A = this chain, B = another copy of it.
Amino acid sequence: CVAENRKLGLSWSKKAAADAEAVAAISCSGHGRAYLDGLVLNEKGFPVCECNSCYGGPDCSELSPACAVNAGSGDPYFLEPFWRQHAASSAVVVAGWHRMGYSYSDNTYMSQELEKRVRILHSIVGNAVTAGRYIVFGAGSTQLLNAAVNALSTDNSSMPAPVVASIPYYPVYKTQTDIFQSINYKFEGDASLWKNSTSDATVNVIEFVTSPNNPDGQPNKAVLSGPNAKAIHDHAYYWPHFSPIPTPADEDVMVFTISKLTGHAGTRFGWAIIKDKAVYDRMIQYMDLNTMGVSRDSQLRALKLLKVVIEGGGREIFDFGYKTMRDRWQKVSETLSKSKRFSLQKIAPQYCNFFHKVRESSPAYAWVKCEREEDRDCNAVLQGANINGRNGSVYSAEDRYVRLSLIRSQDDFDLLFQRLNKLV
């Protein structure tokens, strides 16, 4: 056995490995999970279970029937079972002395091995052109959004560049742009109001284009055009889980994130694909001065995860993700179609070059409309049935709309589905 252990070659990593496996073995009744860094409350010093919504008790075995299900936030737990199934290939052991310095061997803050994998990933999926393009890493797409706004605006111009988006839009575009209170740019809301202002404008108009869109899953295009119209294409959801992939995106500034690809929202890792060297240079400088690049630990983990995604041409994770999301979408669609009180967004099917067939979208969110005149607050209607979604006004739309998250855990979805069925 000594020879066996020697062959296995494990010494200093054994304790950490045993700790991680012990925590992973805490079952939480299948309705939650324990983490290495979870709160330690019980007498044995073991981390406590963190339960799916409406489950509770020390081992998550107690369902509260009257509790409101969380259909609000976009935590992408739908992929958690995939990673549990791929435990051996996705685990990472970080040595205490791993990457203590600021730079990689090429004196940058970005792992070349990871950048290589990002390029391979896009060529496998066929969702973005990367040849001849620059890549910038960010702490999730979040950090890259403002880095891009900053890069596309001009220093010391006569007026701040308007930053706009098409309604309904992801609220962070506004709240993030606002918090920086920049001389160079200012959030101005609805993109369509700026259609006639781009041809003669002296300053850039910066348009966020989210495709597929959050909240409604539509394959959006830029509304503005002309030499001063600069678009930031947010492609967080442009993966086979959620959308047909008709063609590789090839816009000037494209933003992606692993949050909705592998489901690792907490790792805070995203990237931008950039055509123009000057824009790239400004974004890199922003990343350097904002955070000195992305955590090297996040980059190490993203590398391991992308290796698993890429294996076998991406079929495993996208089959899993697509089937899960399609199943959820079909269930929600069928249920809501039984009622005239609610309607659901419709997205046209398209040919998908990844699955080689015409397919429907299987969007991340249901964008539900309350059709009755009096149901002006649709979220309140759903809350009456113990469903917590997000108000349409969060996305600058009417509160007659609600966003329901379909990317959470299976427990969360099952409860949501059960309650929708009772409601209609």
Contacts and interface: CB of A to CB of B under 8 A. Distances in A.
Most buried by B among A142, A175, A295, A300: A295
B75 A103 contact: yes
B179 A20 contact: no
A290 interface: yes
Given A91-B15, A97-B84, A263-B100, A298 B295 contact: yes
Interface string A126-139: 00000000000001
A179 B97 contact: no
A139 B184 CA distance: 25
A94 interface: yes
Contacts of A19: 93
Interface stretch (A34-42, A192-200, A243-251, A324-332): A34-42
Contacts of A142: 289-292
Interface string A280-308: 00000110011111111111110111001
A138 to B, nearest CB: 8
B18 A113 contact: no
Question: Interface residues of A toward B: which range?
Answer: 35 or more
Given A263-B100, A289-B172, A36 B140 contact: no
B17 A14 contact: yes
A22 interface: yes
A21 B11 contact: yes
A37 B300 contact: yes
A348 interface: no
A89 B22 contact: no
A355 B122 CA distance: 55
Nearest to A142: B292
A225 interface: no
Interface in A159-217: 172, 175-176, 179-184
Contacts of A37: 99, 111, 113-114, 299-300, 303
A91 B101 contact: no
A65 interface: no
A97 B80 contact: yes
Interface string A68-99: 00000111110110011011111111111111
A303 B4 CA distance: 32
21 contacts: A1-B4, A8-B18, A9-B22, A14-B88, A20-B94, A24-B95, A35-B98, A36-B300, A39-B113, A75-B103, A90-B97, A99-B267, A102-B265, A155-B181, A172-B289, A176-B290, A179-B286, A183-B183, A267-B297, A268-B295, A297-B298
Given A16-B91, A100-B266, 17 more contacts: A4-B5, A13-B17, A14-B88, A24-B95, A37-B99, A37-B113, A73-B102, A73-B103, A76-B101, A92-B94, A94-B301, A143-B291, A172-B289, A180-B180, A266-B296, A268-B291, A295-B298
Interface of A: 1, 4-5, 8-25, 33, 35-40, 48, 50, 73-77, 79-80, 83-84, 86-103, 105, 111-114, 139-140, 142-143, 146, 150, 155, 172, 175-176, 179-184, 263-269, 285-286, 289-301, 303-305, 308
